[in-house]
Chains A and B, each alone.
Chain A
Amino acid sequence: AQTVTQSQPEMSVQEAETVTLSCTYDTSESNYYLFWYKQPPSRQMILVIRQEAYKQQNATENRFSVNFQKAAKSFSLKISDSQLGDTAMYFCAADQGGSEKLVFGKGMKLTVNP
């Protein structure tokens, strides 16, 4: 079964700094999709960014970008110019190739301090 690992349970960063959240995954599929979700204290799950495995270019959404290393099965999220509103749990997720299901990591709590 596919697994997704977020090894850092918690991080903190100062406002305006850059922070990188790590994620590794294990799959035997050749094509798959990877996602980062954000869950602020409101509890709502929000899609931050997605990456298609067959695309070499790293995805970017405003201050959020990924470093996708397919051979290493690594999918890290970089948040630039951190803001207080970035304080949240962050979950990495992967779909299982042709499956309809996502597998989630256990999450990482990010705190942005003023």
Chain B
Amino acid sequence: DAGITQSPRHKVTETGTPVTLRCHQTENHRYMYWYRQDPGHGLRLIHYSYGVKDTDKGEVSDGYSVSRSKTEDFLLTLESATSSQTSVYFCAIRASGGYGVREQYFGPGTRLTVT
């Protein structure tokens, strides 16, 4: 399972409140990712990180921010949650191993409901 945990696993929050989701990995992978999964859309990349304090936007980054102050932790923050951010959020790492290793492994997901 690539040693990836996500917390919380479920959360219900109200519109306008800040929310932070945490992804933790134990295997020192350089690349980490946050996706959201919605019916009919597959997985869409929100933000990703290629090292401590190095992050970049994905295709659906509006309304989200991220931080990575340690290799093992990648945080996703919704500054002011909206109902459109109700989704399942997945964290992933890209496997390390040199040339040709490109696959990603996923955490168990967080179901977020914004009421």
Contacts and interface: CB of A to CB of B under 8 A. Distances in A.
Nearest to B49: A100
B102 A104 contact: no
Given A91-B42, A91-B43, A105-B42, A100 B31 contact: yes
Contacts of B102: 33, 50, 95, 102
A47 B103 contact: yes
Nearest to A103: B45
Interface in B70-94: 88, 90, 92, 94
Interface in A53-102: 91, 93, 95, 100-102
A44 interface: yes
Q: How large is the interface on A (under 10, 10 to 19, 20 to 34, 35 or more residues)?
A: 10 to 19
A49 to B, nearest CB: 10
B64 interface: no
A77 to B, nearest CB: 15
29 contacts: A33-B103, A35-B103, A43-B88, A44-B108, A44-B109, A45-B43, A45-B90, A45-B106, A45-B109, A47-B103, A47-B104, A50-B102, A50-B103, A91-B42, A91-B43, A93-B43, A100-B48, A100-B94, A101-B33, A101-B45, A101-B48, A101-B58, A102-B104, A104-B42, A104-B43, A106-B40, A106-B41, A106-B42, A107-B42
